[in-house]
Structures are given as structure tokens and as C-alpha cells.
């Protein structure tokens, strides 16, 4: 998958790549480089931040897997999914059941987590393949309808099969403490950030590579024009199922990480609302690029925090506070969504790209 | 410069920016705090998670403001051992994922001394392990689940509500003694609420005495199929383990099917003002409904506790509509102040938990608080209520029992009056 | 057998409301190619308007009229003030804007009216007539069927028999040609939004009294069922919405009656898959994919 890119034809040299074109580095190496840089940055900040911020950042990482997966599906392959919250639930419950099984057999080593996470991804991939196979036949609102139903079904099933999933109350996820080598007083939240961060970076490297590969190009070709893609010899249905599977893997890992962070799972956390918020997050972040998924994930975590900060700022009479509390931030978020979609349909990442392009154009004699 | 390196740098920069942005918003520094989190010479910071928004917030969103109002009242009267109580209320929208965030924010960021009255079984279950590993006192959880009574596993967690099995037993005892031989049916929520309640009912009546059992899910607001089945089965008494919305829905649905059994309703779903408001013109259907409660009735204006809470509500809660949730919130506040006093002037988390486990608290409740070293559940009984002439009032004796096979006994201890200035002294 | 009849009648009366709401979704889809996720929130806003008017005047019917008027107006406002400015090249953009509207409307309703349930009146008794020992329909159910029937018939008449209806269809199917022929395409679009929102408001007025009561989130679950109904029937087909709505209502009632209410979502998913895998455009999708 580390195919070197074909040199761009002269006519399309609008991107500021310049002479660097002949110095191409294999995609995988490039992405690994970025990942290592990001990992170093993450470790550095994990020491600089308080435990709660570490936890929030870890949650961003978990959501990032899911939003990146959704970006691949919706942004790059053009399939709409209102059911990614359900796929996250599949990952979360798999990791819970697997960790519980390990704990029951007295296996509490840290390594079990890796096995459980892998199991979560595999199970979600299987579920994603089934949903994807159905989805590949459907378009637009019909696809939305089926994925919406999936989003509603998943939490309901945990109640139907309460014997396995323990209904509304959910399951606990036993997770081993940080390795002793790190010291006795190593903050648990920092460890959580390391775990979630490394899993997410791995997931992003794989996704980033896929996007740049032949598969990524077929994804986009199918999104842009199905008929043309078919004429070019692309198997459209197979491509769509593949995109769904890849996306499900991301969602499954994200859900699994979320469960590990919370040390518990319950259906209420994976409601239809989550699915809709995921979609809002990736669109606001910017659908076209994986980088947009980062902004989306950050938004998902920052929102409840913002809620609290906002109401704290206002000193109101008890009666007024009871009405505004919670509602005011939601109203502001709603307006923001509408305004952003009207003013900047490319989302945050679109805005940033535009700003960067403008800056570059203003820097005379810039050398690569 | 290579494109790759440049992009790597760009990403690393943006991550760092993001982090500094989040870091900057946390301005607390933690300086000036004593060694005990959330406690200084002048202040005690306590937190809670509550649904203030979303579909589950109806009614519940009034509890925390009431508790806060009671704390403000205590603060205005000099506080506890010279310390004022600050109550941080976080909205989790009844979504367990949000509960995770807000409780961590309270504990790790705001450094609260304790979590008080966190609401909801699915929401609070998810943070039990976190609170336990951080040794945070987790007092008076607002739910009747039996999960809070696990002293070995969660030594710092204590319940408040009468648990669902206990109230199920007391309700069933009423059916057994005053409505013998009637056909009894049961409708419960499809979770531990319905399950535990049914278990209590069956312990007293016997499993074969319940002729039809049905469940509902909150995501499906049509209960006609279930109620239709009860009618077809000829049920004469229907026990409901339902939230208020579904109590009203069940009673309304039964009426339009021409089915009028004796309704016997668990505490959560039997608050008359809430039900009457929801039924609107059809509120008359509630006539004769039997419910259960363990706190003074808000309509009982002769009760000194209600007089006290009404005064607090006027002075510190903007005279918000006074209902069962207000009484509940203030009762929680009163108990917490009692516990703080019992923990002594030299306040630590360990002392607080010890004080609760020592038990012996008496307040507005009509049933005993069961706290001991081995029992972390809250109220251990209740008194039956009946709606008559559009007013819900207590009748008969108060009862107490356990969640096992113990008998349902009358609770005869006389009620206590509130202290003169409304603030506990010991 | 009694139980079967009972569940069928119960399902149909509920299905009629889903049908009306699905019809509202179909109207907007046909006019603007948008699935209006804000339909539920807009309808609740109209129902709150009815609540205020009824409380002030004491008359159910004045409130009912206020709800319809608010619905029509809100639809027009949403089109003119919001949707007109949305970039429709990506079908996702209007969806996200609609979700933003949901948050905004529900939050504003929560601020104005509080997050408490409010009682919703019915104009007729909900006590069922008993026929042969089986509780059959109530006067209110009859009113629901009649209201939905009248609206369905009126819409059919408008779209097939009137000049305005013809222009609306033309504006939706061939905007450029219609513009050349002098049709006010923008105006027709706004009219389509207003009509759809009015129908949605009607559905809310019919269904809220049968549910938990008036609440900012009162239509969330109804929206999910109605959207399913519209998809099953085919989003381009008003008769499909009616059939889909009744079908989903029946399914919900029978599944919770015979199998348990927790299985309802699963049954809905199975129904959707069964229909869409055979007919990916819904039951009433036109058979000929392309016409010249």
C-alpha cells in the first residue's frame, strides 16, 4: 500500500508541491513520521496537563477513531450513515465481554487489553460487513433510514438480551492498572491517554495509508460518479462494502476505547443521539479530509464542558437558571451548526485550508 | 523542506495548540486548598450529576436546585462548623457517556469533597469504579437500585431511596391484607427497576399469584398492548413499577379501554401532582390510586418539615413550584448536613464515610435510614398513600422490611420535628 | 382473535398519525430533495403554540387552528430564512442544518416552557366503544382517521387538480424549465415547505395527546417511526407514506402485543431490510427507473 504517487501532470500543479515532486517519500514512511511526531507531542503534553485534561484528550482520541472512520465512509465514499453509534456500541460491548471473560478466568495482565481491542475491531468489522452489504444496495435517504434503524436497534438489543448485556445498567470493564515500571504514583488518566492515543495513532496511520492508496482512489471515484467508476472497471458494490467495513473498524475501535476509558458500557451512551452527533461532528470538522475528523472529535468532547462553563459564567436567579441551564448552550450550538453550514460548508478544516492557502499566497518568494 | 515533515509539524502544532487551548480554560491551579480535596476552613465543595435537559429531565431537574436552596439556607445560618457548602450541579442529560465526563470533571478538576445524590441507575453505575478508585465519598445516590448497597465492593457508596424490592414487598403486603383473593397483574419497566420490584411483589404474594406480567420500554410510548392483555386476563389489581410518564399513560390507556382495576404504584411513579398535570382533564382517573412514599407529603401544610421546606423554597429557590421533588431535594440536603456535623470539625473523606456508616440519623423520613457498616442502602420502608378527592394523603401505618425474605413490619418510631431554626445541630 | 382485532385497530389508529407525519416528510422530499430532520421539532413548536392559545382562550379548536397556522408559517420561515442559503450540492448539508434546527428549536422551547411535560387536550373522548366485548375505536380515533383522510385527499386534490399544485410539481421536477415558463420556483418551494410543515403540525396535534404529553422532545420517537414509514413506502410517493405509516403502526402494535415491546426496534429494522432489499426505492417507487 506504500505506492509512490505518480508525478502529477503539469497542468494540475496548483497544489503547492513544487519541485518536491521528485523527492517523494513513500506514503507509509511519511505517515509513520507524522505519527511518531504526534506520539512524542502527546507524551509531552500528557505530562504538562492535569489528569482531567488527560482524560478528555484520551476521550478525544477514542472519538477520533470513530469520526475518522465515518469521514472515510461519508466524506470519501459518499455513503451516509446514521448508525455509527451502534457500531461503536458493538466494539464497546465486545471489549467489555472479552475483558470480563479474562477477569473471570483470573487473567488480569495488561496484554489482555490488546486482545480485547482486536476482538472488538474484528466483531465490529463482521457486523459492518453485514450492514454494509445491505447498504451497498441503497442510496441517499433509504440508506439513512436503514442506518437509523440500526442505531435504534443496537441499544434496544442490550435490553432484550439482558442476560448477556445486563440491560440498561450495562457491564463493567475491568482494566489492568498502569504497569508497575512506570511507578506507583503514575496518574491513571495519563496512562489512559497513552493507551487511547497509541491505539488511535495506529488506526489513523492505517486509515491515512488506505486513503492514499489505490483503494482510497476507488472510494473517491465511486463517490464522485458511480457510472464512471463502473466504466473504469471498479466494482462499485464491493468498494462500498469495503468502505463500510473499514469505517466500521474505526467505529468499533473508538467504541472499545471509550468503554476502556469509562471502565463501563451501557446502552444509554450509544443512543441515536450519539450517531447524529458523530455525523454533525465530522461535517463541522470538514468531511473531505481525515484532519477534519480531529476537529469533530474535539468538538464532541468540548461540548459538554462548554455547557458547564457557559452556565457558570452567568449568574441568574434560580428560576431563570433552571430554564436556561443546559438549554442555552444547546441553542448556541444549534445556531453555530446552522451558521457554519451556511457560511463554511467545508467545515473547520475547509476554513483552515483556505486560511493557510491565503497566507501562503501572501508570502512572496517562499521556497520549499 | 519536505512536505511530509512540514505536515507532521503542522499536525503536531495544531495538536499542541488544541491542548494549550483546553489547558488554558482550566484556570484552577489548586492553590490555597488544604490537604483534603474540596475542604477549606470556610468552604466545602460538593458535586452532583443530574439530568437538567433532555427527555428524562422532567421533574428530576428540580431536585438539585432544591438541595442547593437548602444549602444556601444553611450557609445563611452560619454554615456547618463555619464552612459554607458549595454545590456544583452538572447536567448529564441522563446520558451515561456525559456522566463519565462530568463526574471526572467534578473529581479531578473541581476537586469536590464528595459526590452527593447523583441521579439514575445506568448513569451512576458507570462511575462507581472511578469514584471508588479515587476514594471519593459517593453519598445518597438518587435511585432505588440495590447496586449502591455493596459495602465490600464500594465502601464509599451509599443509597438514599427505599429500594425497589422493599417497596414492592410493602405494596404487595397491602394487596395481600386488604385485597385478598383478587387477581393481581404487574407492569414494570424493562430494567432493574421493574425486575427488583417484581421480585419484591412475588416474595410476598408468591410467584403464582401474579397472573400476568408485562414490561414496557421507555422508547415505545404505546402501552395499549400490555394493558389490553391485563384486561383480557381479568386483572383486578395492577401493580405498576413505572416512571411518572408511563403511570399516567397506563392509567389513561386503561380508561379508554374501559378497564378500571385498583392501581398500586411504586414510589417513583406515584407523585400525584406530576401525574395529574400530565393527565390534564383526565386527572380524575387517579382517584383511589395507592402509592408509597417515605418523605412528608408536600400538600401536608401542617407538617413542620413541609413548613420548613416551603420557607426555604421561598427564600432561596425563587419560590419555584413546590412538589415532591422539592421535598426530596431538601431532605437530601438536610441529611447531608447531618452527616457533615457527625463527621466533626476536622473533616476528612474517611471521617465522612465513617459517620454515615455509623448511622442513627433521623430527619423528615417516615421510615428508618438503614445505614450501618454492613448496610449501605437508604430508607428501609415507607408508608402507603391514597388519592382521595383529588388529594394524595397517607393512610395506615408506616412499614419497614428488608430486600430478602424478612417479614413486612409496622414501623412505630414517632416522627421527629425539625430543629427550631431548620438547621441540624448534632 | 379478540386480541388480534384489538391490536389491529390500535395499530391502525397510531399508524394513521405516522402516515400523516410521513406525508409531511414526503412533501418536502418531493419539493426540495431534503429529508427534513427538523420536522418533529417544528411540529412540537406548533403544538406548543396550540397549548398557549388553548390555555389563553380555553378553546381546543382555536388552539388547533393556531397549531396549523404556526406550522404553515414555520415551514415558510425555515425555507426563506435558513434552507434557501444552504449549499445543496452535498445532500449532507441540509441534513446537518436541519439537525441544528432541532437543537435550536428544542432548546428555545425548553427555555420558554420548561422541560416539564404539559397535558395535551383531546377534542373528543378517548374511551373506546365496545363492540361484542372488544374495545374497538374511540371517537378520538375516528377523528384521527378523518383528519388524516381529509388531509390526504386535500393534498391529492391540490397536486392533481389545481394550477398551484401543477406549478409546485413542475418547480420540483424541472426547476429550470419551470422558471423559463414563468413559474415562481422559489415561491413554490416555500409553499411546499409551508404545506409540509402544516401537515406535520397536524400530525403532532393528533399524536401528542396519545403519548406522554407535550414536551420539547415529544416528537423524537414519532419522527423515527414516521421516517421509517416514509422510507418503506418510498419517499417520492404520498400513497406510499400512507401505506407505510399504517404498516409501521400495525407492526408496532402486533409485535409489542404478541412478542414484547423491547423487540419493536428489531422488527422495524427487519421490515426495512425486507422491503428495501427487494425494492431499494421503497414499496411505491416507480418501476421504470428512467423516463425520457
Q: How far does B120 lie from chain A, in Å, by closest CA?
A: 10
Give mean pLDDT, residues B100-104. Answer: 91
**C interface test, pick of B55, B195, B275, B323 with most C CB neighbours within 10 Å:** B55
DSSP letter for A4, please: P
Tell which wins on pLDDT, A365 or A103.
A103
- Helix and strand numbers (H, E) in chain B are 13, 13
Q: For A33-43, what is each residue's pLDDT tens digit?
A: 888 999 999 98
Q: For B179-191, what is each residue's pLDDT tens digit?
A: 888 999 999 988 8
B425 within some domain:
no
Shared domain check, B244 and B139: no
Q: For B11-59, what is each residue's pLDDT tens digit?
A: 555 555 454 444 444 434 333 344 789 999 999 999 999 988 777 777 7
Split into its structural domains, chain B has a count of: 3
Tell which wins on pLDDT, C261 or C62.
C62
Instruction: Identify whether the C-beta of residue B51 lies closer than 8 Å to the C-beta of residue B91.
Output: yes
Tell which wins on pLDDT, A330 or C42.
C42
Give mean pLDDT, residues A92-119. Answer: 90
Give the closest residue to B316 by CA, choosing from B85, B26, B45: B85
Shared domain check, B277 and B209: yes
Q: Is B129 close to A264, i.e. CB distance below 8 A? A: yes
Give burial (CB, 10 Å; 0-12/13-18/19+) of A123.
Answer: buried
pLDDT of residue C2 exceeding 80: no
* Boundary residue ending a domain (B273, B293, B313): B293
Q: Is A149 close to C272, i.e. CB distance below 8 A? A: yes
Q: Is C118 close to B277, i.e. CB distance below 8 A? A: yes
**Chain C contact present for A236, CB below 8 A:** no
Shared domain check, B223 and B78: no
**What share of chain B in percent tops pLDDT 90?**
53
B387 within some domain:
no
**Chain A contact present for B98, CB below 8 A:** yes
Neighbors of chain B by Cβ distance (3+ pairs < 8 Å): A, C
Shared domain check, B152 and B53: yes
**What share of chain A in percent tops pLDDT 70?**
87
Owning domain of residue B314: 43-162+299-378
Q: For B137-154, what is each residue's pLDDT tens digit?
A: 999 999 988 889 999 999
Query: Residue A114 has what pLDDT?
Result: 92
Shared domain check, B188 and B129: no
- The closest CB to that of C7, out of B219, B225, B281, belongs to B225
Shared domain check, B176 and B157: no
Q: CA-based angle B61:B123:B374, to the nearest 5?
A: 105
pLDDT of residue B76 exceeding 90: yes
Q: Which residues of A303-313 are buried (b: 16+ CB within 10 A; e: fewer)?
A: bbbebbeebee
Helix ranges (H only) for B179-240 are: 192-205, 224-233
Shared domain check, B311 and B330: yes
Give mean pLDDT, residues A154-159. Answer: 86
Query: Residue C285 has what pLDDT?
Result: 78
- The closest CB to that of B102, out of A262, A269, A304, belongs to A304
Give the closest residue to B402 by CA, choosing from B121, B175, B149: B149
Give mean pLDDT, residues C163-170. Answer: 88
- The closest CB to that of A345, out of C90, C101, C110, belongs to C90
pLDDT of residue B1 exceeding 50: no
CA B166/CA B199 separation, integer angstroms: 9
- C15: nearest CA partner in chain B: B222
pLDDT of residue A18 exceeding 50: no
Categorize the per-residue pLDDT at A280 as very low, low, confident or very high, splitting at 50, 70 and 90: confident
B417 within some domain:
no
Q: Is A280 close to C91, i.e. CB distance below 8 A? A: no
Neighbors of chain A by Cβ distance (3+ pairs < 8 Å): B, C
Shared domain check, B288 and B193: yes
**Chain B contact present for C221, CB below 8 A:** yes
> What is the pTM assigned to this prediction?
0.86
Tell which wins on pLDDT, B306 or A168.
B306
CA C29/CA B76 separation, integer angstroms: 59
Give mean pLDDT, residues C10-23. Answer: 92
Q: For A230-240, what is each residue's pLDDT tens digit?
A: 999 999 999 99
Q: Is A264 close to B126, i.e. CB distance below 8 A? A: yes
Shared domain check, B153 and B8: no
Tell which wins on pLDDT, A340 or B119.
B119
* Boundary residue ending a domain (B293, B310, B335): B293
B84 within some domain:
yes
Query: Residue A14 has what pLDDT?
Result: 40
Q: Chain B residues contacting C, CB < 8 Å?
A: 52-55, 57-59, 61, 190, 215-217, 219-226, 228-229, 231-232, 245-246, 248-249, 252, 255-258, 277-281
Instruction: Identify whether the C-beta of residue B379 lies closer than 8 Å to the C-beta of residue B161.
Output: yes
Neighbors of chain C by Cβ distance (3+ pairs < 8 Å): A, B
Q: For A175-211, what is each residue's pLDDT tens digit?
A: 888 888 887 778 888 999 999 999 999 999 999 999 8
pLDDT of residue A313 exceeding 80: no
B311 within some domain:
yes
Shared domain check, B289 and B183: yes
Q: For B243-270, what is each residue's pLDDT tens digit?
A: 888 899 899 889 888 889 999 999 988 8
**Chain B neighbours among A 40-79 (CB < 8 Å)?**
40-42, 45, 48-53, 55-57, 59
B354 within some domain:
yes
* Boundary residue ending a domain (B293, B327, B342): B293
DSSP letter for C79, please: I
Shared domain check, B209 and B262: yes
Query: Residue B292 has what pLDDT?
Result: 94
Please report, for the domain that includes residue B269, its CATH number: 3.40.50.2300
Q: Is B109 close to A34, i.e. CB distance below 8 A? A: no
Q: For A287-297, what is each residue's pLDDT tens digit?
A: 878 888 999 89
Which range (A67-76, A358-367, B142-151, B357-366) has the least confidence?
A: A358-367
Which residues in chain B have Cβ-Cβ distances shorter than 8 Å to C221?
A: 219-221
B270 within some domain:
yes
Indicate the average pLDDT of chain A.
84
B207 within some domain:
yes
**Chain B neighbours among C 6-25 (CB < 8 Å)?**
6-7, 10, 14
Give mean pLDDT, residues B293-311. Answer: 92
pLDDT of residue A243 exceeding 90: yes
Shared domain check, B119 and B47: yes
Query: Residue A332 has what pLDDT?
Result: 82
Q: Is A318 close to B69, i.e. CB distance below 8 A? A: yes
- The closest CB to that of C211, out of B52, B221, B281, belongs to B221
Amino acid at each position: 500500500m506504500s505506492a509512490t504517487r505518480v508525478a502529477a501532470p503539469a497542468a494540475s500543479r496548483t497544489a503547492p508541491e513544487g519541485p518536491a515532486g521528485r523527492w517523494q517519500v513513500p506514503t507509509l514512511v511519511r505517515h509513520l513520521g507524522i505519527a511518531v511526531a504526534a506520539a512524542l507531542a502527546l507524551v509531552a503534553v500528557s505530562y504538562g496537563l492535569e489528569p482531567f485534561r488527560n482524560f478528555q484528550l484520551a476521550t478525544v482520541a477514542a472519538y477520533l477513531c470513530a469520526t475518522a472512520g465515518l469521514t472515510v465512509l461519508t466524506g470519501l465514499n459518499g455513503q451516509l450513515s446514521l448508525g455509527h453509534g451502534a457500531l461503536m456500541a458493538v466494539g464497546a460491548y465486545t471489549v467489555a465481554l472479552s475483558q470480563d471473560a479474562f477477569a473471570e478466568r483470573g487473567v488480569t495482565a495488561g496484554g489482555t487489553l490488546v486482545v480485547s481491542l482486536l476482538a472488538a475491531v474484528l466483531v465490529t468489522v463482521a457486523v459492518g460487513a453485514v450492514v454494509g452489504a445491505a447498504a451497498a444496495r441503497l442510496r441517499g435517504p433509504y440508506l439513512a433510514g436503514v442506518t437509523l434503524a440500526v442505531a435504534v436497534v443496537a441499544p434496544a438489543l442490550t435490553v432484550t438480551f439482558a442476560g448477556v448485556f445486563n440491560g440498561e445498567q450495562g457491564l463493567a470493564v475491568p482494566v489492568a492498572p498502569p504497569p508497575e515500571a512506570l511507578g506507583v504514583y503514575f496518574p491513571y488518566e495519563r496512562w489512559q491517554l497513552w493507551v487511547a492515543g497509541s491505539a488511535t495513532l495506529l488506526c489513523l496511520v492505517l486509515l491515512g495509508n488506505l486513503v492514499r492508496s489505490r483503494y482510497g482512489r476507488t472510494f473517491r471515484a465511486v463517490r464522485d460518479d458511480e457510472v464512471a467508476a463502473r466504466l473504469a472497471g471498479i466494482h462499485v458494490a464491493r468498494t462500498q462494502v469495503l468502505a463500510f467495513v473499514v469505517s466500521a473498524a474505526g467505529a468499533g475501535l473508538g467504541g472499545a476505547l471509550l468503554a476502556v476509558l469509562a471502565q463501563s458500557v451501557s446502552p444509554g451512551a450509544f443512543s441515536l443521539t450519539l450517531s447524529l452527533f458523530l455525523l454533525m461532528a465530522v461535517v463541522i470538522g470538514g468531511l473531505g479530509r481525515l484532519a477534519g475528523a480531529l476537529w469533530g472529535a474535539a468538538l464532541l468532547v468540548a461540548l459538554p464542558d462548554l455547557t458547564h462553563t457557559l452556565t457558570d459564567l452567568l449568574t441568574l436567579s434560580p428560576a431563570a437558571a433552571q430554564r436556561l441551564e443546559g438549554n442555552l448552550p444547546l441553542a448556541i450550538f444549534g445556531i453555530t451548526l446552522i451558521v457554519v453550514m451556511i457560511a463554511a460548508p467545508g467545515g473547520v478544516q475547509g476554513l483552515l485550508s483556505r486560511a493557510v492557502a491565503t497566507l501562503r499566497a501572501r508570502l512572496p518568494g517562499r521556497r520549499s | 523542506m519536505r512536505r511530509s515533515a512540514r505536515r507532521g509539524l503542522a499536525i503536531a502544532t495544531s495538536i499542541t495548540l488544541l491542548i494549550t487551548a483546553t489547558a488554558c480554560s482550566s484556570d484552577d491551579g489548586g492553590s490555597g486548598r488544604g490537604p483534603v480535596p474540596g475542604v477549606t476552613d470556610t468552604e466545602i465543595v460538593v458535586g452532583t450529576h443530574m439530568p437538567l435537559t433532555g427527555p428524562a429531565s422532567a421533574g428530576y431537574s428540580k431536585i438539585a436546585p432544591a438541595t442547593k436552596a437548602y444549602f444556601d439556607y444553611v450557609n445563611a445560618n452560619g454554615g456547618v462548623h463555619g464552612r459554607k457548602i458549595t454545590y456544583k450541579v452538572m447536567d448529564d442529560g441522563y446520558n451515561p457517556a456525559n456522566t463519565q465526563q462530568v463526574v471526572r470533571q467534578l473529581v479531578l478538576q473541581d476537586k469536590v469533597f464528595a459526590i452527593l445524590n447523583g441521579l439514575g441507575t445506568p448513569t451512576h453505575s458507570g462511575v462507581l469504579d472511578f469514584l471508588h478508585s479515587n476514594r471519593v465519598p459517593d453519598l445518597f445516590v438518587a435511585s432505588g437500585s440495590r447496586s449502591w448497597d455493596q459495602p465490600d465492593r464500594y465502601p464509599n457508596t451509599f443509597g438514599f431511596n427505599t429500594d425497589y424490592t422493599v417497596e414492592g414487598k410493602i405494596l404487595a403486603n397491602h394487596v395481600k391484607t386488604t385485597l385478598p383473593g383478587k387477581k393481581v397483574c404487574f407492569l414494570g419497566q424493562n430494567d432493574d427497576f421493574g425486575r427488583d420490584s417484581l421480585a419484591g411483589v412475588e416474595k410476598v404474594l408468591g410467584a403464582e399469584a401474579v397472573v400476568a406480567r408485562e414490561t414496557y420500554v421507555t422508547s415505545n410510548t404505546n402501552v395499549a398492548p400490555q394493558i389490553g392483555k391485563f384486561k383480557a386476563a381479568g386483572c383486578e389489581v395492577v401493580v405498576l413499577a413505572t416512571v411518572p410518564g408511563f403511570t399516567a399513560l397506563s392509567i389513561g390507556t386503561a380508561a379508554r379501554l374501559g378497564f378500571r382495576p385498583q392501581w398500586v404504584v411504586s414510589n417513583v411513579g406515584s407523585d400525584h401532582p406530576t401525574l395529574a398535570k400530565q393527565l390534564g382533564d383526565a386527572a380524575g382517573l387517579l382517584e383511589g390510586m395507592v402509592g408509597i412514599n417515605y418523605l412528608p407529603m408536600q400538600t401536608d401544610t401542617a407538617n413542620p418539615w413541609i413548613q420548613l421546606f416551603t420557607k426555604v423554597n421561598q427564600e432561596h429557590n425563587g419560590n419555584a413550584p413546590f412538589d415532591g421533588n422539592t421535598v426530596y431535594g431538601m431532605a437530601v440536603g438536610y441529611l447531608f448536613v447531618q452527616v457533615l456535623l457527625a463527621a466533626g470539625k476536622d473533616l476528612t473523606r474517611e471521617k465522612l464515610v465513617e459517620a454515615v456508616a455509623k448511622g442513627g440519623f433521623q430527619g423528615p423520613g417516615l421510615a428508618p435510614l438503614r445505614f450501618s457498616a454492613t448496610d449501605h442502602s437508604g430508607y428501609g420502608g415507607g408508608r402507603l398513600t391514597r388519592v382521595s378527592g383529588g388529594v394524595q394523603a397517607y393512610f395506615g401505618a408506616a412499614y419497614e422490611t428488608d430486600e430478602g425474605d424478612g417479614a413486612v413490619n409496622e414501623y412505630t418510631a414517632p416522627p421527629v420535628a425539625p430543629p427550631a431554626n431548620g438547621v441540624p445541630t448534632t | 382473535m379478540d386480541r388480534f382485532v384489538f391490536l389491529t385497530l390500535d395499530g391502525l389508529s397510531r399508524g394513521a398519525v405516522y402516515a400523516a407525519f410521513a406525508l409531511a416528510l414526503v412533501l418536502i422530499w418531493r419539493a426540495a430533495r431534503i429529508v427534513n430532520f427538523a420536522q418533529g421539532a417544528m411540529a412540537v413548536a406548533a403544538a406548543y403554540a396550540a397549548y398557549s392559545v388553548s390555555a389563553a382562550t380555553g378553546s381546543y379548536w382555536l388552539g388547533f387552528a393556531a397549531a396549523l397556522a404556526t406550522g404553515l408559517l414555520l415551514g415558510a420561515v425555515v425555507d426563506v430564512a435558513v434552507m434557501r442559503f444552504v449549499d445543496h450540492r452535498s445532500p449532507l448539508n441540509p441534513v446537518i442544518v436541519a439537525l441544528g434546527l432541532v437543537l435550536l428549536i428544542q432548546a428555545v422551547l425548553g427555555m420558554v416552557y420548561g422541560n416539564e411535560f404539559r397535558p395535551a387536550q383531546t377534542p373528543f373522548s378517548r374511551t373506546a366503544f365496545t363492540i361484542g366485548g372488544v374495545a374497538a375505536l374511540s371517537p378520538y380515533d375516528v377523528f384521527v382517521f378523518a383528519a388524516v383522510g381529509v388531509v390526504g385527499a386535500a393534498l391529492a386534490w391540490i397536486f392533481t387538480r389545481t394550477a398551484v399544485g401543477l406549478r409546485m410539481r413542475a418547480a420540483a421536477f424541472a426547476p429550470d424549465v419551470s422558471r423559463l415558463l414563468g413559474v415562481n420556483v422559489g415561491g413554490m418551494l416555500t409553499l411546499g415547505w409551508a404545506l409540509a410543515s402544516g401537515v406535520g403540525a397536524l400530525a403532532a396535534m393528533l399524536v401528542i395527546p396519545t403519548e406522554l404529553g407535550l414536551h420539547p422532545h415529544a416528537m423524537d420517537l414519532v419522527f423515527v417511526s414516521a421516517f421509517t414509514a416514509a422510507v418503506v413506502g418510498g419517499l417520492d410517493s404520498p400513497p406510499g407514506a400512507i401505506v407505510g405509516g399504517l404498516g409501521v403502526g400495525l407492526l408496532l402494535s402486533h409485535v409489542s402485543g404478541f412478542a414484547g415491546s423491547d423487540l419493536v426496534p428489531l422488527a422495524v429494522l427487519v421490515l426495512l431490510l425486507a422491503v428495501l432489499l427487494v425494492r431499494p426505492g421503497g414499496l411505491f417507487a416507480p418501476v421504470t427507473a428512467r423516463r425520457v
